[in-house]
Amino acid sequence: EQDADCDGGLCITALPGGYCSQDCSADGCPDGGSCWNLGDNLSACLLNCQASNECRRGDGYICDGDNTCFPGEEMQPPGDGDVGAPCQGNADCAGGSCVRDGFPDGYCVQFGCDDASPCPAGAECFQLQGGDTVCLDTCRNAAECRDGYACRPDISACMPGCTADDCPDGTICTEEGLCEEPPCTPNSCAEGTICADSGRCVIDIGAPPAGPVPQCDNIPDWRCEGGEANCGQLIQFMPNQGPGYWDYPANGETNANQYRSWARRDAVMLAKYAAAMTECRTRGWAFGNGGPVCIGDCSEQNGAIPGTSVGSPGHPEGTHTNGYDMDMGYFQVNTDNNWMRPICDHYENGREAYHCTGEPYALDPWRTAMYLGFFHHSPQTRVIGVDGRVGGLVDSAMDQLCEAGYMDGGACVARTRKITYEPTNEGRGWFLFHHHHWHISLTTRRNAGLNSSAGAGEACLRADCGEAEWPMGTPYALRRLPGLLERRLGLATPAHAAITSTWTLEQLDLLQDIERLDGADGAAED
């Protein structure tokens, strides 16, 4: 209680129960002690230790991180609860954190994950709204989550399931713990649609092939490990033909130089996974050409828009850069392969419309839906854009494939499905140029985050929803224009290069007029 009680002549009364010590500013400390600056010009000896039982634990002293006896809370060894396991407190969790508010019976998490501190097996790193990161238990369906938890299809992670009071007006809480629209009834669907077993009104395209659904083993994993340094690296599809896919020479490529086919490693892994699953699940189907999905434009090796290296960038600015975007041909019927080609009539009043103007007669909706469905297993899938006349067919096929057990996960929840399309031009970038291919756009795993709960209904071709201006280099534009302009209008290369950098639909129509003039013997120069 006072200096006289201590052999060293110093009692540190500010510490619990007092702490006998001595001034060490001049002579240091005796054996078993070490000198510490405690502030207020006080240098005092503290008792050295190796374990807390060497300290006055009854007064709240522990053996701290400096191996001295000092007031503090005993650090508990981490528990053994995996990410997603139930918990009562932090000590129950291997990651040291238990979240209880809103999480039935608690939920073990691990905060601060990144490339240097990855999540343990069976968990993935997500970014929260404030920028913090957290490891969550991943899943493919509700059966892989604890009781009271649902497999959130937009992020493929186990999260608290809904109750009847949680869901917005007009929705119900399903057995899977997800808020969904109430099921349809036979008389509630619009003309041209039917009430499917899934409870949704779908376009009547018949029924999927009868099962049993094949069990697919030895499928390449879509999950990429090693952080952004590895997963963000641009690679090619090697080999260029594999289970269910073919990276064929497209848009001026050759077998020896497929310079337009570089994508992020995680994107390539996901595309190969979806292709292998589709090939396996559809084996034996009697319709369609049975060929692999055909890979088109991705990015160039340096991350540039395909065609940049030859002076003809083929896509709008802000797309097809750094390996996030991929174009692929639709699965088709009555064709030899699934190359990128129109699957429908695409003319209006004799003019190229650059979108389907009639039914997509060459589309295989079942394989197309299945392949795009497996992309939903990764929350990195930002959006999948298809032609406006294709979208409804794919949606309908996807519903029925899910109901038949061919697919699971995010593709089977309409609210969070990543398929988008524009039956009319809404300005989101999908209306034009998707009558011969679909477009898949990914994001990083961290950017996918926990905030991607909405589907793709309002998603744009460009992630920032900026205007998608199509460059002259696109394979959909007529490449003869520079020569035509020079020959017919007398414009030299620098001039016509300046005016052909971006295109509107009206300008593309003018391009066709010039093309027709050039082919008409003796046509007027204007």
Average pLDDT over residues 131-147: 89
How far apart CA 32 and CA 44 sit, in angstroms, is 13
How far apart CA 505 and CA 277 sit, in angstroms, is 38
Instruction: Give DSSP secondary structure letters for 307-359.
Output: TGGGT---S-TTSS-TT-EEEEPPPBSSSSS--S---S--EETTEE-SS-SS-
The answer to whether residue 52 scores a pLDDT higher than 90 is: no
pLDDT at 449: 56
pLDDT at 348: 87
pLDDT at 340: 95
pLDDT at 203: 65
pLDDT at 474: 42
Model confidence pLDDT, tens digit, residues 189-245: 877 667 877 677 766 787 888 879 999 999 999 999 888 889 999 999 999 999 999
Q: Are 148 and 105 in contact (CB under 8 A)?
A: yes
- Residue 303's Cβ-count burial label (10 Å; 0-12, 13-18, 19+) is middle
The answer to whether residue 450 scores a pLDDT higher than 70 is: no
- Residue intervals of the chain classified under CATH 3.30.1380 are 193-448
pTM above 0.85, yes or no: no
Instruction: Give DSSP secondary structure letters for 400-431.
Output: HHHHTTS--GGGG-GGG--EE--SS--SSS-S
With a pLDDT cut of 70, the percent of the chain lying above it is 83
Which residue has better confidence, 73 or 86? 86
With a pLDDT cut of 90, the percent of the chain lying above it is 44
Q: Are 263 and 187 in contact (CB under 8 A)?
A: no
Model confidence pLDDT, tens digit, residues 424-434: 988 888 889 99
Model confidence pLDDT, tens digit, residues 300-331: 999 999 999 999 998 988 899 999 999 999 99
The answer to whether residue 171 scores a pLDDT higher than 50 is: yes
CATH topology for the 193-448 domain? Muramoyl-pentapeptide Carboxypeptidase; domain 2 (3.30.1380)
